[in-house]
């Protein structure tokens, strides 16, 4: 019998250098173990990705069904920048909520989710080698969008020591002068950091003016806040529109993560290049989805209050339980996450190693902090995306796991 020959690939074509430059996909290792656990039919509790588990409210789903069925004109290519009704609705939402005026014609843009807008913002503005200021840790597309566009991220560390808010004075002035823009995000993913008031935004506006850079504020968690806390909008600060823009998402607010609807607002000179690149690369958001977005933003917001209440119930249950079993867990003021230092006994381990051990031993999947940047090392992020009853079970497993301590 002839030994089986190793199959040679027919083609050898490398993907771009930029793609290779992306940091390794650190959730990959946890994903593999998660799949393995599912394959073995283990009872996995998946708290890894920020993927909302609650359904989209029925009135929004009904609007989509009705539009698709009865309005076939919506099946055609949409306008890349968003239909006028959607843009007017966004402008109205800002007026009502923050008292800020935007011209729907040139200061509002519909996005295929805010992730798309952030990535395209990088492509619209960056030439190879251009610097962008970005927090570390951060929501991954802030950093990866820069790298994919050929830019160079400059880290602004956000840690417990600085209350997860960048220290602008630490940025060397030659770096700030070179930087084209800055990404910030409050309420913050992954750290759950929040801003008390608008004073940081005021400093950022001064900084942007001094160094001629655009501020991109990611406001994906604007509505996921608790106990009367109202996250400030960057745009409500005087002078914001002259230096920046704000990115929004319907994914978390209305449990519409899979629908891919978001928007951004800001100074028209910053919106324009983004609109231009979108008109070349995509056709924007499916019109029926835009109309569902209009419904979401204009109908009763009771569904949002219900979602927030449910996340809070889960957060309180889990933090109280964790603190009891010896894993220090502060209760955040916003977002649907917990950002936790590794339990004391496990602090010699890396966050990736810890997350791998955790899923292997308990079936609980969490996101290793280092996956969001080097300054996230020593932490894990827990997304509260499974139903309330599961946290009791998770706590029983974690109690055993922590009591046992690390192997060896």
Ligand X SMILES: Cc1ncc(COP(=O)(O)O)c(C=O)c1O
How is residue 2 written in tokens?
């002839």
In 3D space, the residue among 237, 243, 233, 238 whose CA is nearest the CA of residue 267 turns out to be 243
Tell me if residue 111 falls in helix, strand or coil. Answer: strand
Q: Identify which of residues 28 and 238 has a Cβ nearer to ligand X in the complex.
A: 28
Report 232-291 residues binding ligand X (CB under 6 A). Answer: 249, 251, 257, 262
Given 46, 218, 246, 356, the residue binding ligand X (CB under 6 A)? 218
What's the sign of the alpha-carbon dihedral 265, 51, 312, 193? negative
- Using CB under 6 A, count the residues that bind ligand X: 13
Query: Does residue 292 bind ligand X (CB under 6 A)?
Result: no
Report 23-82 residues binding ligand X (CB under 6 A). Answer: 50
CB of 139 to ligand X, least distance (A): 4
Q: Identify which of residues 154 and 259 has a Cβ nearer to ligand X in the complex.
A: 259
Residues in Cβ contact with 300 at an 8 Å cutoff, skipping those fewer than 6 apart: none
Q: Identify which of residues 37 and 64 has a Cβ nearer to ligand X in the complex.
A: 64
Query: Does residue 114 bind ligand X (CB under 6 A)?
Result: yes
The partner residues of 310 in beta bridges, in order of sequence, read none
Alpha carbons 54 and 65: distance in angstroms, whole number = 19
Q: Identify which of residues 114 and 315 has a Cβ nearer to ligand X in the complex.
A: 114
CB of 220 to ligand X, least distance (A): 4
- Tell me 228's DSSP state: T
Q: Identify which of residues 262 and 376 has a Cβ nearer to ligand X in the complex.
A: 262
- Whether cis (ω within 30° of 0) applies to the bond prior to 190 is yes
Helix (H) or strand (E) holding 264: strand 262-266
Which stretch in 8-16, 109-117, 296-304, 374-382 sits in contact with ligand X by CB under 6 A? 109-117
Q: Identify which of residues 125 and 259 has a Cβ nearer to ligand X in the complex.
A: 259
Task: State residue 353 phi and psi, 5-degree precision.
Answer: -60, -40
Alpha carbons 200 and 94: distance in angstroms, whole number = 20
Alpha carbons 276 and 363: distance in angstroms, whole number = 46
Given 134, 147, 148, 220, the residue binding ligand X (CB under 6 A)? 220
Query: Does residue 137 bind ligand X (CB under 6 A)?
Result: no
Tell me if residue 123 falls in helix, strand or coil. Answer: helix
Cβ atoms of residues 225 and 333 within 8 Å? yes
Alpha carbons 341 and 347: distance in angstroms, whole number = 8
Q: Are strands 367-368 and 45-46 parallel, antiparallel or unpaired?
A: unpaired
Greatest Cα-to-Cα distance within the chain, rounded to the nearest angstrom: 79
Which stretch in 96-104, 110-118, 127-135, 326-334 sits in contact with ligand X by CB under 6 A? 110-118
CB of 13 to ligand X, least distance (A): 30
Alpha carbons 158 and 111: distance in angstroms, whole number = 28
How is residue 143 written in tokens?
């950093």
Q: Identify which of residues 112 and 237 has a Cβ nearer to ligand X in the complex.
A: 112
CB of 253 to ligand X, least distance (A): 10
Q: Identify which of residues 48 and 220 has a Cβ nearer to ligand X in the complex.
A: 220
Query: Does residue 193 bind ligand X (CB under 6 A)?
Result: no
CB of 8 to ligand X, least distance (A): 40
Q: What share of the chain is helix, strand, coil (3-state, %, to 5)?
A: 45, 15, 40
Which stretch in 107-115, 147-155, 198-206, 347-355 sits in contact with ligand X by CB under 6 A? 107-115
Given 56, 131, 185, 253, the residue binding ligand X (CB under 6 A)? 185
Q: Identify which of residues 194 and 362 has a Cβ nearer to ligand X in the complex.
A: 194
Query: Does residue 113 bind ligand X (CB under 6 A)?
Result: yes
Binding site for ligand X (CB under 6 A): 50, 113-115, 139, 185, 189, 218, 220, 249, 251, 257, 262
């Amino acid at each position: 019998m002839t030994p089986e020959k190793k199959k040679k690939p027919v083609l050898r074509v490398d993907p771009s250098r930029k793609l290779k430059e992306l940091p390794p996909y650190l959730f990959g290792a946890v994903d593999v173990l998660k799949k393995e656990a599912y394959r073995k039919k283990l009872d996995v509790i998946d708290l890894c990705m920020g993927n909302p588990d609650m359904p989209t409210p029925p009135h929004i789903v009904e609007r989509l069904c009705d539009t698709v069925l009865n309005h076939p004109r919506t099946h055609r290519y949409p306008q890349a920048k968003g239909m006028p009704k959607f843009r007017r609705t966004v402008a109205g939402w800002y007026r009502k909520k923050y008292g800020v005026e935007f011209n729907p014609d040139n200061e509002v843009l519909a996005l295929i989710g805010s992730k798309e807008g952030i990535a395209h913002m990088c492509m619209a503005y960056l030439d190879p080698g251009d610097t962008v200021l970005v927090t570390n840790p951060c929501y991954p597309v802030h950093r990866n969008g820069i790298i994919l566009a050929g830019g160079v991220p400059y880290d602004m560390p956000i840690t417990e020591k600085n209350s997860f808010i960048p220290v602008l004075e630490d940025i060397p002035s030659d770096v700030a002068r070179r930087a084209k823009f800055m990404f910030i995000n409050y309420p913050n993913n992954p750290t759950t950091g929040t801003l008390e008031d608008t004073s940081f935004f005021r400093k950022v506006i001064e900084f942007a003016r001094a160094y001629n850079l655009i501020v991109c504020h990611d406001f994906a968690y604007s509505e996921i806040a608790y106990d009367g806390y109202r996250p400030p909008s960057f745009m409500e600060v005087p002078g914001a529109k002259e230096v920046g823009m704000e990115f929004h998402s319907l994914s978390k607010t209305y449990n519409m993560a899979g629908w891919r609807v978001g928007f951004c607002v800001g100074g028209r000179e910053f919106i324009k290049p983004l609109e231009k690149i979108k008109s070349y690369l995509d056709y924007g958001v499916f019109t029926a989805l835009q109309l569902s977005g209009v419904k979401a933003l204009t109908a009763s917001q009771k569904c949002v209050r219900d979602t927030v209440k449910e996340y809070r119930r889960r957060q309180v249950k889990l933090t109280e339980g964790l603190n009891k079993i010896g894993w220090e867990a502060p209760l955040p003021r916003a977002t649907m996450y917990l950002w936790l230092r590794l339990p004391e006994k496990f602090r010699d381990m890396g966050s990736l190693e810890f997350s791998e051990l955790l899923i292997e031993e308990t079936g609980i999947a969490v996101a290793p902090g280092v996956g969001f940047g080097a300054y996230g090392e020593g932490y894990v992020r827990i997304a509260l995306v499974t139903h309330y009853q599961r946290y009791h079970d998770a706590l029983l497993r974690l109690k055993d796991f922590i009591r046992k301590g690390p192997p060896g």
